[in-house]
Structure formats: C-alpha cells, structure tokens
Chain A
C-alpha cells in the first residue's frame, strides 16, 4: 500500500476549494465587468474613503496585536509555571468561550460598555469617572483583543512548555540573572511562537468587518467593511476582489515571515 496515495483526496479538495477559488479572486480583481484586463479595481484602494479605511484598519490591528502580545506573553509564562500536568486544561480555558457564539460574545461587550452599562455602574459605585468608549475605535480594539487573545496565548504557551528547564537552569548556574535568562534564553527560544501568534492576531484584526460593525456603531469603516459592502450591497465583485487582492499582499507578507520561522511545518496551534 502506498501511503502517499492517502493524501490524494485532500490534494483534489485543496485544488478545487483552496487554489481555484484564489485564482477566481485574481481573475475578478484584474478584470472589469466586461471581462477585459484592468488594474482599476486594485487602484480603487487609493480613493480617499478606502485609504482612510485601510490606514485605520492597519492602525487598530497593529495596536491590538501589540496589546495581545503584551498581555499574552506574561500569561503564557504564568500558565507554564503553574505546572498543570494537563495541557489540555489550559487549552480548554481558551477554547471554551468559543462555544458561546462569537457574535453574541462581542455583542455582550455592548451591554458591558454602554453609558449605563455594567462597567459604568460599577465605576460610578466607586465614584470613578465613567468610561465612554462604545462606538469608538477604542471599543473596536477591545473587541479585537478580546476575540483574538487566545490565538496569541496558545502558540506562545505551546512553545514555552517545550523549552527544556535544564537550559534555563544552566543559564542560571552560569551566572545569568532572571532578566538575562529571559532575554538571552527564553525569548529567543519562544520566538517562533511569538511570530505565529502575531500573524494569527494581526490577519483577522486587519480584515474583520464584524467587530467594527458591532462595537463601532455603523460609522466607523474598516477595510473589511468596505469589501463586505462591495459584495453584499453594491454587488460589485470586481472592485471587491481588487480590494481583497490588496489585503492579500499584507497576508502574504505575514505568511512569508511566518514560514521563515516555521521550518519544520510544525503548524500554528
């Protein structure tokens, strides 16, 4: 029995539902309504409304990626030091919220953040100034951090548990202090996890249209909203595909960076 043949159904599937659909986006993105070749769909990105949306998306997704990283790294280290023998338990804590619908969870933040919402009532109780971030970009960043934090924690945690404690002990024996051990040993060893975490948070944040829809009111347009509207409201597939191609440039760059660090195809999770 040739084992390689077992991957034939997947190959067929991947060509039909991954490769060909991507070619379709290129086709629509590079042609006009009558089917002639054009760059105008891609150049649509340079109209002022689209540039604004793209820049805002880039800004918000960079901020949320940074916040996720700053929150997740210490968290992964703490979880690693807990020495829970069941890794699955840690993973579970982060997967479990996904069993409550993603849209409902994000909507729940509306209830929490509203002017007379739970958080503001609590703040008023302690005589603290109220927090008015609903329908602002801040709420969108919060939504992104909340939704994508697990995708930063899990890759970092998974790589930290694989670090041999003897390596760290050796560094300490050789006279490195805590900070030096972290900078010279732990951080470099966990770098692949950090990189995959960054991609896993940056790409969905950059391209979301749901979080901005639910937490940003309907006033704030991200590039994801622009593309979504091109397909569902304007029915302009060519321009929508053209703008998607622009997004794909950012995604491809992240993929290229990731594959540099993911040499053995260990995967992301």
Chain B
C-alpha cells in the first residue's frame, strides 16, 4: 500500500518536472503583459496577431517543410538501407551500424560544425538546401535504428514460403516484408519528424543568414525578449499534436472492436 503510494508520488513528481515548463508556456500565451515576468490578465490577442506576423509564419513554414521533407527522404533511404544491412554478413553489418551510430552519439555541435565546414569547402550556398541536407543526415540513423529491430524479428521462412508459393521476389517483398516492418518505418518517420522539428544546434551552424526556422528565430529573440506570439504558436502546435496522438491511439482499438 505504502509502496504503491510512493510509486504514484514519484511518477507525479517526474511528470511535474517534465511538464511544468510546458504549462508555463501555455499560460504565458494567454498573458496580456508583454514581459514574461508578470501576469497582465487573460487575453487571446497573441493568437490573432500570430497569423499577421509574417516572420513567424515564414519560420513556421520553413520548419514544417524541412521536417516533412527530411523525414520522408530519411525514411526512404533509411528503410532501404536497413533491408540491405540486414542481409549483409556480420562484419559489414558492424561497419554500417558503427557509421550509423556516429551522428547519434556525436555531439550536435560537432555534427553541425563538420557539415558547415563541408558546405564551405565545396562552396555550397547556405540556406534552405543546406539545412535540409543536414536534417536528412541526422534523421537517417533514427529510421535505421527503428527499422532494424523489426527486421530482426522477421521469420525468413515466411518470405521463402511466399516465393515457394509463386510470388515474385518484389511481390513477396511488398506483401510480406514491408507489412512486417511497417510499425518500425512509421515510428522512424515520426521520430525523424520530431527530431527535425526540435533541432536547434545543427540548424544554427548550417543555416546561413536570411533563413530562419522557429528554433533559430527564438534563439535570435532571446536577448530582446521572446515575442508572445511565439508562445501562442507553440501552444497551438503542442495541442494539435496532443489531439492527433490521442486520436491515433484511440483509432486501432475501435477497429478491433468492430
């Protein structure tokens, strides 16, 4: 009884630690006072002025397009790579997985700097494209690390059985292997999208001037004070993801009941 209470209490404390800043930001988005130091009454004006703020809207557009495109490309390249790696001998598998671990384990600042030096050396113009290339690079490992465990669980006999029963290799591949690893592919995509959305450090070094994502825009505003519209925007993003995730989590259950 005591133990159960302690467990609940501990969970609650961690939950507060994780979500206190988020609640703070949501509260700040309704704060009529422009500074975050004092409460000036309830308002919705930041939510309406948000959509007139072109700089923020541009940054939002960049952030979402980069996250979406980089996650999509990373998912394709990463899934294909995983299938290839899974069929390799142990020796090559180890080499490939070590390379994959480099961006995961390396410090973001080192990854960011190394890519910046690469773009400078090859005279690539900094901007949207360089951010995109950088994001794809750090996203592919997340996809590979999500898909590989699923590939390991596959019973290779099922694929062989499909071939025995007359399926062409490509048909068997799409009908047997892909459905089996689909959850891994999806979680890899979602993870990449999230990581790209939340990235600041690598974007900071690869963006050049003249383009901003939400992260770099916020960083630039830190010294002058964050615009309250930013809080409104993050609240909207957070709440829409929350609703989306609740909907997705509910959906499969209903299907089962039917």
A76-108 at interface with B (beta carbon < 8 Å) = 78-79, 81, 86, 88-89, 92-108
**Does A165 have its Cβ within 8 Å of any Cβ on chain B?**
no
A1-30 at interface with B (beta carbon < 8 Å) = 1, 3-11, 13-14, 17-22, 24-25, 28
Q: CB distance B25 to A100 under 8 Å?
A: yes
**Does A65 have its Cβ within 8 Å of any Cβ on chain B?**
no
Interface centre among B20, B84, B116 (most CB of A within 10 A): B84
Residues of A within 8 A of B61 (CB): none
Q: CB distance B215 to A101 under 8 Å?
A: yes
**Does A190 have its Cβ within 8 Å of any Cβ on chain B?**
no
Closest-by-CB residue of B relative to A240 is: B113
**Does B53 have its Cβ within 8 Å of any Cβ on chain A?**
no
**Does B251 have its Cβ within 8 Å of any Cβ on chain A?**
no
Q: CB distance B194 to A98 under 8 Å?
A: yes
Which residue in A4, A13, A108 is a CB contact (below 8 Å) of B25? A108
A156 vs B59: C-alpha distance when bound (angstroms): 36
Interface centre among A22, A107, A251, A255 (most CB of B within 10 A): A107
Known: A207-B110, A269-B145. A21 touches B117 (CB 8 A): yes
- A contact patch SS: helix
Q: CB distance A103 to B117 under 8 Å?
A: no
Q: CB distance A28 to B117 under 8 Å?
A: yes
- B contact patch SS: helix
**Total contacts A to B, CB within 8 angstroms?**
238
Q: CB distance B81 to A6 under 8 Å?
A: yes
A203 vs B85: C-alpha distance when bound (angstroms): 27
Which residue in B15, B87, B100, B118 is a CB contact (below 8 Å) of A17? B118
Task: Tell me the minimal C-beta distance from B165 to chain A in angstroms.
Answer: 18
Residues of B within 8 A of A8 (CB): 84
A103 vs B200: C-alpha distance when bound (angstroms): 8
Residues of A within 8 A of B94 (CB): 265
A104 vs B201: C-alpha distance when bound (angstroms): 14
**Does B10 have its Cβ within 8 Å of any Cβ on chain A?**
yes
**Does A157 have its Cβ within 8 Å of any Cβ on chain B?**
no
B99-157 at interface with A (beta carbon < 8 Å) = 99-111, 113-118, 121, 133-134, 136-137, 140, 142, 144-146, 148-149
Q: CB distance A104 to B25 under 8 Å?
A: yes
Q: CB distance B238 to A99 under 8 Å?
A: yes
Q: CB distance B19 to A10 under 8 Å?
A: no
Residues of B within 8 A of A20 (CB): 118
Q: CB distance A255 to B105 under 8 Å?
A: yes
**Does A50 have its Cβ within 8 Å of any Cβ on chain B?**
no
Q: CB distance B84 to A101 under 8 Å?
A: no
Q: CB distance B28 to A111 under 8 Å?
A: yes
Known: A4-B87, A17-B137, A75-B11. A97 touches B22 (CB 8 A): yes
Q: CB distance B80 to A105 under 8 Å?
A: no
Residues of B within 8 A of A116 (CB): 37
Given A99-B237, A227-B113, A259-B101, 20 additional A-B pairs, CB 8 A: A1-B169, A10-B80, A18-B137, A20-B118, A24-B114, A25-B113, A93-B18, A96-B241, A99-B238, A100-B234, A103-B200, A105-B22, A105-B25, A108-B22, A108-B28, A214-B222, A240-B113, A247-B109, A267-B97, A269-B191
User: Can you report 10 residue pairs joining A to B where beta carbons are below 8 Å apart?
Assistant: A3-B86, A11-B81, A97-B18, A100-B25, A101-B215, A107-B222, A111-B37, A207-B108, A240-B113, A247-B110
